[in-house]
Amino acid sequence: MGERGEMGIATKAFSPFIPFNPVSFIINTTNLAETPPPNQQNVNIKVEDAVLKGAYSNMMFASHTKEEFIMDFMSVFGRQGVQVAKIITSPGHFKRIVAALTDNLKKYEKQFGEVKSEMKKTEQSTSESSHFGF
């Protein structure tokens, strides 16, 4: 199945592993009859067609409160755009997401070469909110 990162979270695209504390759960979307490893439980997750289809995003706005991180994803073309998703999560899970994304980027760059980014440090990116896109 998928690879596991140091923090026990999925580090491979479309991996069936998702962390859940205190007991880890496995989301097995291919073979629901498969026996889970020790200390893990099988969880059946229904994925709606719209979610399974995915959404393209070329801009993101991130913010946080003491209790949660909020990520708004947008698709912007020309002078128009639409928000395609909003993710709200706990600080602990946000940190695991960042670790999984960092691990995936390292693997990607090892396979395909360095990703060039023109991200500029601005006042806004050092404030409580961050805006990523063009």
Query: What confidence tens digit (pLDDT) does each residue in 40-90 have?
Result: 778 889 999 988 999 999 999 999 999 999 999 999 999 999 999 999 999
Structure tokens at 37: 């490893």
Q: Domain-by-domain residue ranges, the chain? A: 1-53, 55-112+123-134
> What pLDDT sits at residue 50?
87
> What pLDDT sits at residue 4?
42
> What pLDDT sits at residue 132?
57
DSSP-based three-state secondary structure for 26: strand
- 40 or 111: whose pLDDT is higher? 111
User: DSSP assignment of 39-95, as one string?
Assistant: TEEEE-----HHHHH----SEEEEEE-SS-EEEEEEEEETTEEEEEEEEEE-HHHHH
Centre a 10 Å sphere on the Cβ of residue 52 and count the other Cβ atoms it contains: 8
The per-residue pLDDT for range 94-107, each reduced to its tens digit, is 999 999 999 999 99
Q: Compute the residue count for the chain.
A: 134
The per-residue pLDDT for range 49-60, each reduced to its tens digit, is 988 999 999 999
- 66 or 117: whose pLDDT is higher? 66
Give the C-alpha separation, 53 to 75, whole Å: 15
